[in-house]
Chains A and B, each alone.
Chain A
Amino acid sequence: MTAGVAEAAPVVDPELIDLATRARAGEPAAFTALHARFAPLVHGILVTMVQPHDAQDLTQEVFLSAWRALGTLHEPARFAGWIATIARNRGRDALRRRESGRVPMPDDVAAPPGPTGEAADILRCLRELPEAYRETLALRLVEGWSGPEIAARTGLTHGSVRVNLTRGMKLLRDRLREAGYA
């Protein structure tokens, strides 16, 4: 059974608990520190759902939402899973808006080019994987986190991270092979 970030246990990290508690009390410096620490987590989740340039903007929107909703975080130790859920929901909203054609865009503004070629194919194959695998793989392959770093910041056990990485990579290789990559 795979374990995703949202189902992870609370992170036993006194510094995280302190930061989240202080941020919840309204301290901007603590929130800034949380942003620095968890922006790659949020971005890694979003990049498995939307284009990278959208993921960058949405990451900031997730943190803005999180700041406003911090009062609902009852257990600071669960900050990682909590903000991961916000990210996932925001990603789904973005997908729904895009599918319905409701994304506003001024006429004089062009979207930056998205990834092309191999990168685009890899991301497309990554997005086809089960959620737990694709998110853990994104944190490793896109954001560059090691296995222990992924475990420490998400609350997943080392075992779960290893499983997600190993099985996820096997599936990704299979998908890429089907897409014509050796």
Chain B
Amino acid sequence: MSGDEYLWDPKSAPDPDIARIEAALAPARWQPVPAPSPEPAAASAIRHPQSAIHRPPRMWAAVPAAIAATLALAFLARDPSPSSDGRIPASATRYRVQGIAGIETAGVGDRLVVGADAAALTVGEIGDVTLEPGARVRVEDTGADSHRLFLEKGALQARIWAAPRVFQVGTPAGLTVDLGCVYRIDVDAEGRSHCAVKTGRVAFEIEGRRVTVPAGASCIAVPGRGPSSPLWSDAPAALVAAVEAVEFAPSPNQSVLAAGLAAARANDTLTLWHLCAAVAPQVRRAAAERLAALAPPPEGVSVAAVIAGDAPQRAAWWDALAAGW
């Protein structure tokens, strides 16, 4: 057909109709501009110089007003205990602390125990953390490329605008790795953690098991077992019950599993994808088949391979699903 070669190779003899279309559309072409900065203050820099359309700057979750002025009953214990990997990082950077009487900064090895009122940490140049009343947190690393806290108990909310993986929070049940977001972690007296993400994404990791929790979802992590599959905040009750009952059970309750999977909506592919790595093969099979029914795998990915534990194919399915969550 006329013009096929010109369509393929713009350097070949032009087809007049196609050339006219190209000329008409030329003003609509991408106008090269610098890459956006990942810093939140640069949200307004997204605006194209030729575009007068204004978008309001991104709004992050509000810090509770209690932090601003109230002094809390708390104490700071200097704890020379090593970091979770046995080393004490050499960084001398100290975080600014607000809301704890007599404490202005905290460095590596320091433990903060928050009393009746919330406190706040400014984490270098990358964000801030609200420590809820009763929280106990240890500062493990304040390096330029790595900031790490350990939440021993209680709750914190993090608002981070660093590059992914720069900020991490350890808990008794696993490590949360910030991927650029606002999120909350609660650790109860038994070390059980609940991580709820408001914006962005958090990865929860322990001993090779990793779950990714996007905004609007949460997951539970239990010491010795690690994180469960994440669930949306409005996930059907049957699916919530199924995840709790079957994900780590060697002999899962089939009726609970079936009811949960049947209740899964199109958006619950997040949970189903994670269940494809469940302990019991029958859970993996049922989850993968339900996932395929809701969101067929992309080219090159087979359900059988994912059930069998093929990591690259499972990852490829993730890539097809993830950006839509």
A residues near B (Cβ < 8 Å) are: 3, 6-10, 24-26, 28, 31-32, 35-36, 39-40, 43-44, 47, 52-57, 59-61, 63-64, 67-75, 78, 81-83, 85-86, 89, 104-106, 109-112, 115, 118-119, 122-123, 140-144, 146-148, 161-162, 165-166, 169-170, 172-173
Contacts and interface: CB of A to CB of B under 8 A. Distances in A.
B151 to A, nearest CB: 20
A122 to B, nearest CB: 6
A81 B321 CA distance: 11
B319 A57 contact: no
B69 interface: no
A141 B48 CA distance: 22
Interface string B306-325: 00000010011011101110
Nearest to B58: A64
Interface in B10-61: 10-11, 17-18, 21-22, 24-25, 27-36, 38, 43, 46-48, 50-56
A56 B30 contact: yes
B85 interface: no
Nearest to A169: B7
DSSP majority for the A interface? helix
Nearest to A83: B323
26 contacts: A8-B299, A52-B27, A53-B50, A56-B31, A56-B51, A57-B55, A63-B35, A67-B38, A67-B164, A69-B201, A70-B164, A74-B319, A78-B319, A81-B320, A85-B319, A109-B54, A111-B51, A111-B53, A112-B51, A112-B52, A115-B27, A119-B24, A122-B24, A141-B22, A144-B10, A172-B21
B21 A122 contact: yes
A78 B56 CA distance: 32
User: Of residues B9, B48, B145, B312, which shows the largest number of chain A Cβ atoms within 10 Å of its Cβ?
Assistant: B48
Specify which of B7, B24, B33, B300 lies most central, judged by the most chain A CB atoms within 10 Å of its CB: B7
B164 A26 contact: yes
Most buried by B among A148, A162, A173: A173
Interface of B: 1, 3-4, 7-11, 17-18, 21-22, 24-25, 27-36, 38, 43, 46-48, 50-56, 145, 162-166, 177, 179-181, 200-201, 203, 212, 298-300, 312, 315-316, 318-320, 322-324
Contact of A57 (B17, B28, B51, B316): B51
Nearest to B28: A52
Nearest to A166: B4
B21 A141 contact: yes
